[in-house]
Structure 1
């Protein structure tokens, strides 16, 4: 389980997430950083800390300095920023061993399989279940579910206090009019009942009401169920972020899916 969550802070003028947990730096937002200096600054920080990957989320058109410094664009999301500007996910590997995934063939199979599943009309939610938004009273049970489903996670979702704090103050829905559909978890005994698909539909409806333009997710590439869920929900597949995130007990590749909510 993740006992040493990554640091999220503003550094060099940019919003970063980094740590030994995933042995990487994630440039979440450029902010006030100098784009001419930032690639070298991130490189120096990664080498100092022993990280083996840097990946970034950037508006298209601002990737030039990164590409010039050895970054390759791994995925993209059209209309990410206010429904207008595409987001690019460029990555740089400081250890060539991390570029290669031993599961590449299986990842490709799942990515090909998921869109082939028919997006049939969604059956109604079984009467034995109730779908509602979680409240602060639910954080202990939420943490228990996350502990059972995810052996590790890039954020401390196993901690009820962190869940409560983020529920009350952390989420900002206004910047860029995009939303990440994330933190899906279904207990093993309840899988195969389309619960994630119902949850995703409810989340999409709520985000449309809030005026969001684009939804996206970064899902485990080796999880057929989650990839099929997003494909069935009408999300196009972007690409794979190789050996990107420590989740469910080890560093895994992640698939990017997206959907216009316009």
Structure 2
């Protein structure tokens, strides 16, 4: 029986000598194999069958080092590495493409040039300061509606429904931390850290600033605040996926000491198209 096509949901699947956690993402036409135990070959075979059944165009696997060869043998390709993702051990970002269109990047050479340019930007030597009349703080569920308005203003399309205050409240309950900057009582910039308690890592995401309040370096301020909160929670693996075409966001992570870990082809639908995403990672224990 076909899986109900909700926009996204998590599904546990078990079979002959394997168990896996699948994240169905119909909004981005992809299936993520987020966790697995047992026979990887059998798990992958079943995951690919589900992907075909659901008309997905990309299957993503976070593989452990010992399973890298097995994943390659199943037709997956290595796109990048998330350092220290699995409680201090690296995660290998593998992809299986079901269409040539999804497999083919439209801006690869331009994105390579952006990475080259970013690598020449000096690292930050001291904390960024915010101008007077701006306030830095962490968000509460009472900010969900205003955050939803911010994200709907900035993004035409986004991989997750950040324009829905109910969704924002849900992820807050699940452990996502939002740092925000206010101006005259209004949130003008925000970022979040999505904490994975099982593997002790956090994804920095949902970065947005209203156009009239840019050029103050707010993202560096917000991300630095989130890093301090993660350290307080004993989370030392911090990573992010930045739009490969965004010189600004890639420069922010480079300046803050993050290391480039590869590029995910047409990973998600953001702004107005499927975009490649750069992996950036940082070990906060050396902050």
Following the alignment from structure 1 to structure 2, what is the Cα–Cα distance between the partners of residues 173 and 68?
29
Following the alignment from structure 2 to structure 1, what is the Cα–Cα distance between the partners of residues 281 and 211?
26
Which of the residues 256, 259, 267 maps onto 1:236? 259
Per the alignment, in what secondary structure is the counterpart of residue 132 of structure 1?
A: strand
Tell me by how many angstroms 1:141 deviates: 0.5
Which of the residues 24, 28, 43 maps onto 1:18? 24
Larger relative contact order (CA 8 Å, sep ≥ 6): 1
Alignment of 1:1-262 (within 5 A): 5-12=7-14, 13-30=19-36, 32=37, 34-83=39-88, 85-120=89-124, 121-169=126-174, 171=176, 173-262=196-285
Following the alignment from structure 1 to structure 2, what is the Cα–Cα distance between the partners of residues 152 and 33?
37
Quote the RMSD (CA, aligned, Å).
1.7
Q: What is the total number of aligned residue pairs between the two structures?
A: 257
**Conserved 8 A contact 1:5-1:154:** no
Kindly tell me: are residues 129 and 78 of structure 1, through their superposed partners in 2, closer, same or farther at Cα, counting changes over 3 Å? same
Over residues 205-251 of structure 1, what are the superposed CA-to-partner deviations in whole Å (9 max), with x where a residue is unaligned?
11111111211011111111111110110101011000111112221
- Please give the TM-score of this superposition, normalised by the length of structure 1: 0.92
Tell me by how many angstroms 1:8 deviates: 2.6
When you count strand as a share of all residues, which structure comes out higher?
2
Tell me by how many angstroms 1:62 deviates: 2.3
Following the alignment from structure 2 to structure 1, what is the Cα–Cα distance between the partners of residues 54 and 11?
16
Over residues 47-99 of structure 1, what are the superposed CA-to-partner deviations in whole Å (9 max), with x where a residue is unaligned?
1122111111122212333211101110002222222x111001111112222
Structure 1: give runs of 5+ residues left out of the alignment: none
**Conserved 8 A contact 1:75-1:90:** yes
Per the alignment, in what secondary structure is the counterpart of residue 27 of structure 2?
A: coil
Per the alignment, in what secondary structure is the counterpart of residue 231 of structure 1?
A: helix
Following the alignment from structure 1 to structure 2, what is the Cα–Cα distance between the partners of residues 159 and 238?
31
**Conserved 8 A contact 1:242-1:254:** yes
Over residues 172-210 of structure 1, what are the superposed CA-to-partner deviations in whole Å (9 max), with x where a residue is unaligned?
543222111111111111111100000011011111111
**Conserved 8 A contact 2:63-2:71:** no
**Conserved 8 A contact 1:5-1:155:** no
Per the alignment, in what secondary structure is the counterpart of residue 139 of structure 2?
A: coil
Per the alignment, in what secondary structure is the counterpart of residue 17 of structure 1?
A: strand
Over residues 131-154 of structure 1, what are the superposed CA-to-partner deviations in whole Å (9 max), with x where a residue is unaligned?
100011100010001101122222
Following the alignment from structure 1 to structure 2, what is the Cα–Cα distance between the partners of residues 215 and 74?
19
